[in-house]
Amino acid sequence: MKKIVRRDLAVVLATLGLALVPLILIGGYLHSKYQWATQRIAEVEPRYARVSGLVINKDSLAQAHAQAADRLAQYLHPSGQDANQVGNEVQQRIRSVLSTAGLSIVSTQVLAAKDEKNFERIPLSVRAEGDMMAVQLALAALDEQKPAILTEGFVLQAASAPVKGVQRLAVQLNLVILRGKP
């Protein structure tokens, strides 16, 4: 009788074992899928937060974009024109500004355009002569130009000996204008 009970117990335990093996395998599979899903959510969550933040702040971002475009327009010449054409137009404008300020133009030169990331830098070299007041007026007038004419550097030297207390100066201006890329 004991053999039968042990045998029945072994059969019951084997049957339970066979029934539990698929349940354990299914549980392991579900646990691994849960871990995978948790990891994917952790990866996606920061991106989702950024995108939802962008969606929420869509109007303020559009306004900031418009302000940035307006500010950029103050510095960039339009990309529709050729770089040489833009350089020549700005060269004429610079000559006019410097002459109006009281400087006499010795030479102006538009140099070759250089590519930057999203724009072209068009360097200009200008030599002029005049007194200190004319130089100051010219620099102030160049600062007010739109689109902006940037000053990369300048050299100021005495052109001659002072006459009646007025010193004639020679100024070398290294200017840059920016043009949007086509």
pLDDT digits (tens, 9 = 90+) for 16-55: 888 888 888 899 999 999 999 999 999 999 998 899 988 8
pLDDT digits (tens, 9 = 90+) for 142-167: 888 888 888 888 888 887 766 676 77
- The residue among 175, 154, 152, 172 whose CA lies nearest residue 86 is 175
pLDDT of the residue at 128? 92
pLDDT of the residue at 77? 79
pLDDT of the residue at 4? 66
Q: Are strands 76-77 and 169-180 parallel, antiparallel or unpaired?
A: parallel
Q: Which residue has the higher pLDDT, 39 or 77?
A: 39
- The residue among 178, 138, 176, 177 whose CA lies nearest residue 156 is 138
For the cut 80, the answer to whether the pLDDT of residue 98 exceeds it is yes
Q: What value does the mean pLDDT take over residues 61-80?
A: 85
Q: What value does the mean pLDDT take over residues 100-127?
A: 88
Largest CA distance in the chain: 138
pLDDT of the residue at 132? 87
pLDDT of the residue at 2? 61
pLDDT of the residue at 40? 93
pLDDT of the residue at 3? 65
Contact between residue 58 and residue 161 where contact means Cβ atoms under 8 Å apart: no
Distance CA(63)–CA(3), nearest Å, equals 88
- Flag whether the pTM goes above 0.85: no
pLDDT of the residue at 67? 92
pLDDT band at 118 (very low <50, low <70, confident <90, very high): confident
